[in-house]
Structure 1
Amino acid sequence: MFTGKYKIADKVIEVTSLHEKVHNYCKDYATDEDADFSVRTSQEDIDFETQREIRCAEREGREPLDSTDDYREELAVYRKIAEKMPDFDTVLFHGSVIAVDGQGFLFTAKSGTGKSTHTRLWREYLGDKAVMVNDDKPLLKITENGVIAYGTPYNGKHKLGCNMSVPLKGLCILTRGEKNTIVRIDKSEAYAMLLQQVYRPVKTLQMAKTLRLIDELAVKTELYRLTCNMDIEAAEVAYNGMKG
């Protein structure tokens, strides 16, 4: 067994795993502080991730991804962290977060729509002003004063992100289209996508907390819908529409 402590979204998590790769993956978040909670994985957790991938592949009509037990264990660890985080008013959200001038902008959409491509266009358009926080699975903490987006070790296949946090200025749902247009939307228009993209815990109590946090998220950050193509003008339209 391998054990380490990592500070993620301002919480110290003690992780005990079967494989060392989990700890190499999280090394940029290592800490010696006292743990707020702990997670421990087993072969059963790894097998669960394997079966989950098989079911997903069947639904999507593709072959299961060929990956190793140590990679599956990384997924299992983050799943256990995500299950616990609603206790700290924090949720895992599927999206790409970029920071500009100390403000965070989160883009979410159905798989394959182009979240990562769009934030790449922001980096091309804005240059060094734009910093990737997390390109895949950021943690969002909902506070009395707003929403904070956190980088995590789990930042997508291209490993775009860093150990930082930023107040979330806006959350934008992407759709594909020929012309680039952005509009403000309300909670009722965004809720279905927010619920789809948040991590939904298995335990009933944790799911209830998550639903409450999604309600607060929709109130405490600005919501947008961006219809966009893959031209750099899409980044210009989105930035000017969201920056305030």
Structure 2
Amino acid sequence: MPRKGAVMLHGVLIEWQGKGIVLTAASGTGKTTHARLWREHENALIINGDRVLLRKEKEQWYAYGTPWSGSSGECVNRKVALNAIVFLHRGLINAVEQISPLQALGEMLPRTIAPKWHKEYSELAVDYAVKCLEDTTLISLQCLPNAESVSVLKQKLMTVL
């Protein structure tokens, strides 16, 4: 994939109102739960529940569903323009903020899936991940597993996208 200009990310890809949104977090944080809340309350399509392919074509980053859906079982063969990456965290309240690429870097790299046995491809994957951060709206969401978390994120997305 890195040889073809793409990088794989551990995350959930949803499409909401024609916008591609990746939810990423450490395993067990609640990515699938949050995506399903988006489906239930905002009619979002869950394109992939575990592994998202990101690739820039011309001036636009796109996110792709892959056959690897993890335990969610959610996977659709679909491509959508990438509009935002949301870094999900469990919280005591629902709170959201836009963050910089530098703030997101420490969370993005551990979730970037790269062939560690191949130095050139690993470096390419990291380079693509960094470029994607530079070109994409980045959001940090502290949340509870409830409908209000969807509402809080939706309000923020509507102001930045």
Q: TM-score, normalised by structure 1?
A: 0.63
Question: Alignment identity in percent?
Answer: 32
In the TM superposition, residue 157 of structure 1 has moved relative to its aligned partner by 1.8
Q: Deviations over 1:145-196 (max 9, x none)?
A: 1210101111122311211100011001111112111100001111011100
RMSD between aligned alpha carbons? 1.1
Contact residue 142 and residue 216 of structure 1 kept, 8 A: no
Which residue number corresponds to residue 220 of structure 1? 135
Following the alignment from structure 1 to structure 2, what is the Cα–Cα distance between the partners of residues 92 and 154? 11
1:97 and 2:13 matched:
yes
| Larger RCO (alpha carbons 8 Å, 6+ apart) | 2
Aligned residues: 158
Q: How does 1:167-206 map to 2 (within 5 A)?
A: 167-201=81-115, 202-206=117-121
Q: How does 1:72-87 map to 2 (within 5 A)?
A: 85-87=1-3
- Runs of 4 or more off by more than 6 Å in structure 1? none
- Give the 3-state SS of the residue equivalent to 2:151 in structure 1: helix
Following the alignment from structure 1 to structure 2, what is the Cα–Cα distance between the partners of residues 89 and 239? 30
218-227 or 135-144, which deviates more:
135-144
More strand by share: 2
Which of 31, 36, 42 is equivalent to 1:120? 36
- Give the 3-state SS of the residue equivalent to 2:13 in structure 1: strand
Q: Which amino acid aligns with 1:103?
A: K
Gaps of 5+ in 2: none
Gaps of 5+ in 1: 1-84
Which residue number corresponds to residue 150 of structure 2? 235
- Give the 3-state SS of the residue equivalent to 1:152 in structure 2: coil
In the TM superposition, residue 143 of structure 1 has moved relative to its aligned partner by 3.2
1:209 and 2:116 matched:
no
